[in-house]
Structure 1
Amino acid sequence: MPDLAYIASLPRTRGAAAALLLDDLGRIVLVKPTYKEGWFLPGGVIEEGESPLAACERECREELGFTPRLTGLVCVDWGPPRDGVDAVNIFVFAGHVSDAELAAITLPPDELSDHTLAAPEKVAELAPAHIARRMGPALRGMAGHRAFYLEDGRDPGLPDQATAP
């Protein structure tokens, strides 16, 4: 039988999941929250007992109005404590969106004010720095059918990640 007191004493880390969705021209779907500055990938907090993949699919349904076809995990990024919020593990899943899906995007007005398609090189102008930093490795992961591990959007120096910024 597990020691429930010990388990309850263990530190907790938040989890989040996001979708790196590309259209046929290679542009990235970004959304603009109403409660913070900048543009972000669709996604959000992993709820208790929910897997990162299930959270990504649920968040896309809630934020975009459809569940995209996801092709795999491309990045896990450890985000340090920021702005009074605890550290977080962010799982980024890749996928493609069709023109029909893009035309059908329905945003929840209390949470998101807008969406856009951005060329990868424009993300740094739109997204907060810690979000923009993970785009290069995530896009390389998508192209190479692999996942990168990052810390605050940066390569922590693992030998097999020599190509990550």
Structure 2
Amino acid sequence: MTEDPADAHRAVTDYTASLPTKRMAAAVLFFDDTDRLLLVEPAYHQDHWELPGGCVEANESPHAAAVREVREELGLTVQPGPLLAIDWVPPRPDRTEGLMLVFDGGRLSPEQVTAIHLPPDELRSWAWATPQEQKLRLSPLLARRANAGWRARVEGRTAYLEDGHTVS
């Protein structure tokens, strides 16, 4: 007896629907001429600054999410470059585990910097930050991720991280 291909397809669909899901986000690292990193200050909390980016929505690629989030947060339409880092973040009491992808946004031109427009209900401000300023403004996890992304950009590779720590 020959198996109906439609039955095989349903079996695969049923199986993949049962697999675990992970929270996913995408961020973009933007630089100025002195390699300072662009950070954004959220309006909804005051603990730490963040990298431009956000949650990957259902049926959206991480790259498309990065493009969308940068447009929503900075008012810029860009095509991010290579993937710099992927960071697996373990579950916490207030969050599920997740995969965070960091793309290279390259150097922003003076025209792009002038065109930055923040949504006031989401972001209070933005600033260029040196590595030392990043440590002060970002959460420790985000500072590790940003630093790893910067190193990966310099070295021309993609970094794999777990909780912001490089895994060799």
* TM-score, with length taken from structure 1: 0.89
Provide, for residues 100-157 of structure 1, a one-character-per-residue CA deviation record: whole Å limited to 9, x for no partner.
211211111111111111012320100011100112221111112210000010023x
Question: How high is the sequence identity, in percent, across the aligned residues?
Answer: 42
Question: Residue 111 of structure 2 corresponds to which residue in structure 1?
Answer: 100
Decide which moves more: 12-21 or 66-75: 66-75
Question: Residue 88 of structure 2 corresponds to which residue in structure 1?
Answer: 78
Larger radius of gyration: 2
Instruction: Tell me the distance in 1 between the aligned counterparts of 2:153 and 2:72.
Output: 24
Instruction: Tell me the distance in 2 between the aligned counterparts of 1:143 and 1:128.
Output: 22
SS in 1 for 2:57: coil
Q: Deviating runs (4+, > 4 A) in structure 1?
A: none
| Alignment map for 1:108-123 (pairs within 5 Å) | 108-123=119-134
Q: Provide the aligned length of Structure 1 versus Structure 2.
A: 157
Provide, for residues 60-94 of structure 1, a one-character-per-residue CA deviation record: whole Å limited to 9, x for no partner.
00000012352211100111223511111011001
SS in 1 for 2:113: helix
Given that residues 74 and 93 in structure 1 are in contact (C-alpha distance below 8 angstroms), is that contact kept between their aligned partners in structure 2? yes
Q: Would you say 1:133 and 2:144 are equivalent positions? A: yes
Query: Shift of residue 46 of structure 1?
Result: 0.6
Instruction: Tell me the distance in 2 between the aligned counterparts of 1:34 and 1:122.
Output: 19
- Aligned partner of 1:70: which letter? P
Provide, for residues 27-68 of structure 1, a one-character-per-residue CA deviation record: whole Å limited to 9, x for no partner.
111011122321111000011111111110110000000123
* TM-score, with length taken from structure 2: 0.87
Question: Residue 10 of structure 2 corresponds to which residue in structure 1?
Answer: 2
Gapped regions of structure 2 (runs ≥ 5)? 1-8
Q: Would you say 1:154 and 2:143 are equivalent positions? A: no
